[in-house]
Amino acid sequence: MFSSDLAIDLGTANTLVYAKGRGIVVNEPSIVAINKNNGDVEAVGKEAKEMLGRTPGNIVAIKPMKDGVIADFKVTEKMLTYFIQKAHNRKMLVHPRIVIGVPSEITQVEKRAVMDSAYRAKASEVHLVEQAMVAAIGAGLPITEPSGNMIVDIGGGTTDIAVINEGGVQGTKMFGIGGRAYTHAVERDLSVDFEKAEELKVGLSNNKAPVSQRPAIEAALAKTADVWISGIELALSEFTKLDHLPHRMFLCGGGSSLDLLMDRLEQTEWYKTLPFTRKPSVHHIRPDQVSGIKDTTGDVNDHTFITAMGLLRVGMDTKQFAEDSGSIRDKIDKMLSV
């Protein structure tokens, strides 16, 4: 049966689209190339990224999402429209129902902006769900275990945290440090441009960074990691209604690819001031731990995609309950607390 329903993980760095029954159909950078002379969109996604650096002077590449929120409404709308069309093989006969993942603590105004963009991109129905919560579901973790879990999704602009125990999702928190902050640190300390800094940062995990530069890159990342760790500590200290925190932490999102973060979480005593009953253990979540999602792009292969996968599952599963009363959030809570 053909369905036009879509779930979209509108990320600061990457956007993923899942089409019901078909799996992940779009996985592209959140970039739009605009012609400065007439405002026309020249390219979106991968194509726009390829234009970066080798564009004629009249074309600018815009990243319309910043820190997990829409910084440029018009461009976001154009990007959404393009991805929605792409997901439908450019057939715009149908007006899809769309579920979109947003950071945990965005304001009503920001939520409204995301929804308006999707409606203007021809959606018939739009639902927003929180990224941290869907990352938790994407992880497919046992949620009924008394000990519970914490899911930490480190994206480009934000870190989103969900705490889950036998009572279901106990809450979500976020703070504005993601992978981009690390890239900026490298940019600043090594006096290179953002693109080069990104290359050096990623090069550290895949061994492509020049050996002579590694110490300087590591030093830049280490300083940011200190601030990030404080962010984690502070965010977790805000779960004041819980008498203790779950001692298992699962990392996902592109930003969690830095080994340094895992090392810090394991090797420092950041948790000492928090109500843990024992030292938290830290793990990565991998897509093969997530069931029920098919990937048609062929490159959904690591923890980077967990939020999208969860979103897709939550979004679609939630739609099955569309006739139920109550908010989407209630429904998700209900699903989670089964």
Which residue ranges make up the site for ligand ATP (CB under 6 A)?
11-14, 68, 155-158, 178-180, 183, 198, 201-202, 205, 253-255, 257-258, 304
What's the min distance (Å) between Cβ of 326 and ligand ATP?
A: 27
* Nearest CB to ligand ATP, comparing residues 96 and 254: 254
Residue with tokens 């991998």: 286
Q: Which window, 8-16, 23-31, 107-115, 296-304, contacts Mg ion (CB under 5 A)?
A: 8-16
What's the chain's Rg over C-alpha atoms?
Answer: 20
Would you give the end-to-end CA distance of the chain in angstroms?
29
Candidate list 30, 183, 307, 318; residue touching Mg ion; CB under 5 A: 307
What's the min distance (Å) between Cβ of 81 and ligand ATP?
A: 19
Q: What is the DSSP letter of 214?
A: H
- Helices 131-138 and 328-336 pack at an angle, to 10 degrees, of 30
| C-alpha–C-alpha distance, residues 28 and 43, integer Å | 12
In this structure, what are the phi and psi dihedrals at residue 295, rounded to the nearest 5 degrees? -110, 120
3-state secondary structure 302-317: CHHHHHHHHHHHHHHH
* Nearest CB to ligand ATP, comparing residues 156 and 315: 156
Residue sitting closest to Mg ion (CB): 155
* Nearest CB to ligand ATP, comparing residues 37 and 107: 107
What's the min distance (Å) between Cβ of 258 and ligand ATP?
A: 5
* Nearest CB to ligand ATP, comparing residues 165 and 174: 174
| C-alpha–C-alpha distance, residues 34 and 41, integer Å | 5
Binding mask 101-140 for Mg ion (x = CB under 5 A): ----------------------------------------
* Nearest CB to ligand ATP, comparing residues 12 and 318: 12
Q: Which window, 88-96, 236-244, 264-272, 305-313, contacts Mg ion (CB under 5 A)?
A: 305-313
Give the number of C-alpha atoms closer than 13 A to the C-alpha of residue 225, restricted to the C-beta side. 21
Q: Is 256 in the site for Mg ion (CB under 5 A)?
A: no
110 contacts 178 by C-beta, under 8 angstroms: no
| C-alpha–C-alpha distance, residues 126 and 328, integer Å | 11
* Nearest CB to Mg ion, comparing residues 81 and 307: 307
From the list ligand ATP, Mg ion, none, which binds 315 (C-beta under 5 to 8 Å, kind-based)?
none
In this structure, what are the phi and psi dihedrals at residue 50, rounded to the nearest 5 degrees? -65, -30
In 10 A of CB 98, how many CB atoms?
26
* Nearest CB to ligand ATP, comparing residues 84 and 217: 217
In 10 A of CB 23, how many CB atoms?
16
Q: Is 315 in the site for Mg ion (CB under 5 A)?
A: no
Q: Which two tokens mark 262?
A: 């895992």
Binding mask 10-49 for Mg ion (x = CB under 5 A): -x--------------------------------------
What's the min distance (Å) between Cβ of 106 and Mg ion?
A: 13
What residues from 150 to 209 belong to the interface with Mg ion (CB under 5 A)?
A: 155
Dihedral of the alpha carbons of 62, 108, 306, 26, in degrees to the nearest 10? -40
Cα separations in angstroms, 257 against 1, 90, 221, 228: 38, 34, 13, 14
* Nearest CB to ligand ATP, comparing residues 5 and 67: 67
What's the min distance (Å) between Cβ of 153 and Mg ion?
A: 6
**Interface residues with Mg ion (CB under 5 A)?**
11, 155, 307
